[in-house]
Structure 1
């Protein structure tokens, strides 16, 4: 199971949540950024339908895989 963590950080004169190196929009307060991170975290846990996905590898080969719509990550919010 994949674990992802949203972190609340000061950003651009306000507050944002960060996942990896990506920032959300800026919020005026820490509480607003945390509430948005909690909402995003909950959405990550929602199951979807199974689907087939296709993508091209660097060498030009196309790959087709079945994506399990029920294989959702564990999420946490820090800060």
Structure 2
């Protein structure tokens, strides 16, 4: 099983969460970024429908993949 770790970090004049090399949007406070990370981590574990997803990779390229709805990662938040 894949494990994703959400790290709370200073970013772009505020706070964000980071998973691997990808940053979230910036939040004005540490607490707001931490709450967003906890919410994203919880949603990441929920089973859903299989669907096509689009995302930007660490090199700035947009990728399109099929995400199986029953293949969910284990997540945690490191503050």
TM-score in same-fold range (> 0.5):
yes
**Following TM superposition, by how much is the alpha carbon of 1:77 offset from its aligned partner in structure 2, in angstroms?**
0.4
Q: Residues 5-24 of structure 1 correspond to what in structure 2 (within 5 A)?
A: 5-24=5-24
Number of residue-to-residue matches in the alignment: 66
Residue aligning to 1:40:
40
Q: Look at both structures and tell me which one has the larger radius of gyration over its CA atoms.
A: 1
**CA shift in 2, pair 1:36/1:67, >3 Å:** closer
Q: Report the TM-score when normalising by structure 2.
A: 0.73
Residue aligning to 2:49:
49
Following superposition, which runs of at least 4 residues in structure 1 exceed 3 angstroms of deviation? none
Alpha-carbon distance between aligned partners in 2 of 1:68 and 1:16, rounded to the nearest angstrom? 27
Structure 1: which 5+ runs fail to align?
Answer: 52-65
Q: Report the TM-score when normalising by structure 1.
A: 0.73
Alpha-carbon distance between aligned partners in 2 of 1:73 and 1:2, rounded to the nearest angstrom? 5
